Amino acid sequence: MKELLELFLAFARIGGLTFGGGYAMLPMLQREVVENKGWATEAELMDYYAVGQCIPGVIAVNTAVFVGNKVKGLIGAIAASLGVVAPSLVIIVAIAAFIQSFSELEIVQNAFAGIRVAVCVLIFTAVVKLFKKAIIDKFTFALFAVVFLLSIFVDVSPIIFVVAAAVLGIIVHVFFLKGGKAK
């Protein structure tokens, strides 16, 4: 029961203290799930996040389900996902009651402009951390460059990029690399 409460509270903190959606949650997920609690490794969290982006649903909830499931099975997945959505639900209901009255105020518009900048910085920091862990050799750098360029110039679902990269990673590892070294 204590672990379920820890899962709920950790993900409630993540859900309640991050703004900007799933991408903005990544730095806090890394700190809480990997560094503080040790519920997943950096690589596992990246995998959960990648798969969570490719399947239907909210990235943060999908990631919470994966982490909760790893820690405590189905009940852990439920506790983590409830934790990540509970703060948002409460905050959204409260804001919805008053947003129309305040949205036109200059101070509110300026606050949102500042929040957007801060969220961009948080996302960039998370991307840099992930880049350092994911780009480990020439192959992963080349794959990164190709997917990055294609994502800019080609209007394709991110699912296609992730699935293609997974297939290519398997092919290269099985047929061209052995234990991470060229044959």
14, 56: one domain: yes
116, 169: one domain: no
Rounded-to-10 torsion of CA 171, 172, 177, 183:
100
Tally of residues, the chain = 183
Biggest CA pair distance of the chain: 66
11, 83: one domain: yes
Distances in whole angstroms, Cα of residue 129 to Cα of each of 42, 62, 82, 123, 159: 10, 21, 27, 10, 22
116, 174: one domain: no
72, 154: one domain: no
75, 158: one domain: no
Q: Are 102 and 78 in contact (CB under 8 A)?
A: no
Report pLDDT digits (tens) over 12-65: 998 888 776 667 788 888 899 999 999 999 889 988 888 888 888 888 899 999
119, 35: one domain: yes
61, 151: one domain: no
Domain boundary residue among 119, 134, 149? 134
* Domain span holding position 41: 2-134
- For helices 42-54 and 106-134, give the axis angle rounded to 10 degrees: 120
94, 172: one domain: no
Q: Is this model's pTM higher than 0.75 or not?
A: no
Report pLDDT digits (tens) over 127-164: 888 888 889 889 999 999 999 999 999 999 888 999 99
34, 78: one domain: yes
Could you give the number of structural domains in the chain?
A: 2
177, 143: one domain: yes
